[in-house]
Every structure is written in structure tokens, then in C-alpha cells.
Amino acid sequence: MSHSQVKTFPLSMRIFHWGMAALLLSLILAGLSMVQSLQPWQVTILALHKAFGVVALIAVILRLINRLRQPVPALPADLPAWQKLAARGSHVLLYAAMIAMPVSGYLMQSAAGRAVDVFGLFTLPPLMSANLAWYGVFRELHGWLAYALVVLILVHIAAALQHGLVRKDGVLKSMWK
């Protein structure tokens, strides 16, 4: 099927999209709460953050494979060229950030010499021997990437609303039903 023939995203892509939206929002809020308070329950949040972060890494890999195997709706033909470019560019950056976030988290834990336990189901081993300098680098990176991801998500939501409420061109609906 050619690109122009499909009007909506396949169900599998819509499930990945909204499922990961909820997962990433939870991870971001949990992450921000962890670095802002030292309540005893933060230890639980931290363990959940790491385990769900690994789930996010597995999910984005499956999502990318799924995305590359199927046709997606074409952008409206009358969309200005710069907006088409902005759409493609921001989507590539969103995928890059979705991969870099959990990878930097795992590297941070690796440099701390810690294995990552995923709900008691399996454990990711540290990839290097403990190294404080690298721990600092990956921790900083994880934080900066988080802010970049938040900015990307806000731009993404603004563009989706522009399509849905201003242009009313079916782009928002294509991810909805």
C-alpha cells in the first residue's frame, strides 16, 4: 500500500504512541520528583523508574521496527515545505531522545557499578567498572536529555493542536482513530 492510501496510523502504532506517551510522562515526573526530595519512598520510586526505564528502551526498539515495516499517512499536500521538514526533523529527534534517555540512565548506573533489576524478572549487568567521573558525565547527560525531551514533547503537542484546532486537516485524528 502506498503512503497516500492510508488515512490513519495502524492500530499497533497508535497503541505504541499513546502507551509510550503515558510511560514517558510517568518516567519524567518520577525522575523530577526523585531529584527534588529525599523522602523515604523515593527509594521505591527510583527502583520503579529504572525498571520502567528499561521497559521504555525495549518498547522504543519494538516501536521503531514496527514503524519501519508499515505505511503511514502522508502529511497534507498543502502543508508548507518548512512545516513538513519540521515535522520529520522533530519526529527523528523524538526517537533519538527516546533511545538516548534510557541508554544514558543505564550507562549512569553502569558507571556507578550497579546492575539494574527489572521487576525481579531479569538484571542488566553494569557495562563497566565503577568510575565516578563517568558517573557524573552520564548523570548530567541524563538530566539535560530529559529537558530536551520535555521541550520536544511540548513542541510536538503544540503542532498536534495546530493541526487539530487551526488547520483541521485530519493529522491529529490520524493518531486518534
Binding site for ligand HEM (CB under 6 A): 24, 27-28, 31-32, 34-35, 49-50, 53-54, 56, 101-102, 105-106, 108-109, 116, 139, 142-143, 146
Give 94 or 116: the residue with its C-beta nearer to ligand HEM.
Answer: 116
Closest approach of Cβ 147 to ligand HEM, in Å?
8
Give 64 or 79: the residue with its C-beta nearer to ligand HEM.
Answer: 64
CA-to-CA separations, 154 to 94, 121, 145, in angstroms, rounded = 11, 34, 14
- Contact at 8 Å (CB) between 53 and 119? no
Closest approach of Cβ 19 to ligand HEM, in Å?
13
Give the C-alpha separation, 76 to 173, whole Å.
13
Give 24 or 175: the residue with its C-beta nearer to ligand HEM.
Answer: 24
Grid cell digits, residue 131: 568510575
- Ramachandran angles phi, psi of 38, nearest 5°: -120, 35
Grid cell digits, residue 128: 563497566
Distance from chain centroid for Cα 40: 28
Closest approach of Cβ 6 to ligand HEM, in Å?
28
- 90's CB contacts (< 8 A; 6+ apart) are 152, 155, 156, 159
Closest approach of Cβ 135 to ligand HEM, in Å?
9
Give 107 or 171: the residue with its C-beta nearer to ligand HEM.
Answer: 107
- Contact at 8 Å (CB) between 65 and 84? no
Closest approach of Cβ 115 to ligand HEM, in Å?
9
Give 45 or 79: the residue with its C-beta nearer to ligand HEM.
Answer: 45
